[in-house]
Structure 1
């Protein structure tokens, strides 16, 4: 009681902050309010997590059930529980029905190359606009950002014509054979998507947060621009790199319209084009769910691996003007 009286006296005389007096009436109310907000925040997070996990959980559980049981469980909570006739038959049937392994390898390779090349190209462009003295770089950056408002569907047909005019070559037993057109190749699924306006903007905003005094110190030691980019700026840009990797990987992995337009050979197709195989004759929803689970796992694994860097990058660079 004595401590409480002293705290109240300090608050009354203005010698202490009401919120800093833990045993005062105001202090107890503030602490209680913080606890309520904290508990409410956790309840909201848990509710949102459960809400977003329901479709993924339903997909995975359904991939373990035959079609009859999937439809029979739809009216109860059993639709989200691995109970009943559970087996891996749908996963085995997926590989019998479509060349799923080939599709997965194609998508992993295409996405990985697009991510690596995209990080290099877009970070170099952002570095030049952010750190180097380039005349009209504000106008250039504005034009780059303006391309974001143009939907890909508008550019798809002209892009098909352009890639069909580009030179191509292949290695044969007689040497290099030069041909015309990139249709039905791996490079047509990679090169048009390496440069990305949003990735350049994200890198640019993050580079702007790195003190330019580091560049001046490096130049005094005889470092050139590329060495500054490689040894100073990029090692400090881990969150931005992780974010660009995720945002580049997702559209590359989920690409459907473009491969459908430019790829005819089955051996070159990515995983998303494989989805249509399950709707051609007899639709087996268990196999559809199994295939969907297989192509979802790499995306979930990538996000879990880089989620901390992704959040840090958005917090530090995504809100800048």
Structure 2
């Protein structure tokens, strides 16, 4: 039996890699099509879609689509706005949501179970149902900045960041992860006289790399792909993110080559962010279901 199992091991390994290769190919083909099409004239790109030439660097290749994309819209500005808004939101969200989850899991206070249930219930509320009420709120809120007191948050970075700092999904991820950490660590720290703040900074957060990476990637994707909210609250071009900027390429005549070039450019920050956190993200998957 041991010999049979050993003989079948290469076949099982080959089959596993074949399935993984197939899945990877399915995910890579759209990206490959996008990148290859960004170097081709629109007519050639449309003609190539009927064959495998769509995925190959063949034909009349040039950087004209990228040049025309920058001429049609302020692409660099849109990418900067999205990266700035997304980066700040992710950092603030990780800090605020992890603190909230720490309070829900480790600190004993009245009503925490009810409040946690309310927070998790927000996951089932579609954003479209609260978009207009939220718009009315942020349009009347005061703000003290370098220019003094201002009424309303419209046409700013803060209106794209602050409403999204805390959310039920990120809090839920931290709550579930904190529950799986060994309770003996917290008890030992409390026995040695550590404060809750010290436990949060020196005990819990150093062990939370996997959930930090997972929450950061999910939050990054949600914020970077924001369209409806920025479309409602931002009318000035100087504050528009990449998804709103995509509309520039569908005005008058649609140049699909320029669209592919624009999509390629705005995909770069997403891939870079994922590659930076890839190791911690894989560790988070590997640790799923493991109890402390």
Q: TM-score, normalised by structure 2?
A: 0.95
Q: Which has the larger radius of gyration?
A: 1
Alpha-carbon distance in 2 for matches of 1:136, 1:38: 52
Match of 2:260 in 1: 289
Alpha-carbon distance in 1 for matches of 2:175, 2:239: 34
Match of 1:34 in 2: 9
Secondary structure of the equivalent of 1:71? helix
Match of 1:106 in 2: 81
* Cα pair distance change 1:250/1:256, threshold 3 Å: same
1:44 shift after superposition: 0.4
- Which one of the candidate residues 183, 188, 195 is aligned to 2:166? 195
Match of 1:256 in 2: 227
For residues 77-131 of structure 1, the C-alpha deviation after alignment (integer angstroms, 9 at most, x for no partner) is 1110011111111111111110111111111110010000000000000000111
For residues 140-190 of structure 1, the C-alpha deviation after alignment (integer angstroms, 9 at most, x for no partner) is 222211110111111111111111121123323xxx2x1221111111100
- Which one of the candidate residues 123, 138, 156 is aligned to 1:185? 156
Q: Which has the higher contact order (CA 8 A, sep 6+)?
A: 2
Match of 1:238 in 2: 209
Q: RMSD between aligned alpha carbons?
A: 1.6
1:315 shift after superposition: 4.5
Q: TM-score, normalised by structure 1?
A: 0.87
Could you tell which deviates more after superposition, 85-94 or 162-171? 162-171
Alpha-carbon distance in 2 for matches of 1:196, 1:316: 23
Alpha-carbon distance in 2 for matches of 1:43, 1:291: 33
Equivalences, count: 291
Match of 1:18 in 2: none
Unaligned ranges ≥5, structure 2: none
Whether contact under 8 Å (1:131, 1:212) holds in the other structure is no
Alpha-carbon distance in 2 for matches of 1:118, 1:314: 21
1:304 shift after superposition: 2.4
Whether contact under 8 Å (1:61, 1:79) holds in the other structure is yes
1:277 shift after superposition: 0.2
- Which one of the candidate residues 114, 130, 135 is aligned to 1:155? 130
Whether contact under 8 Å (1:202, 1:240) holds in the other structure is yes
Whether contact under 8 Å (1:202, 1:317) holds in the other structure is no
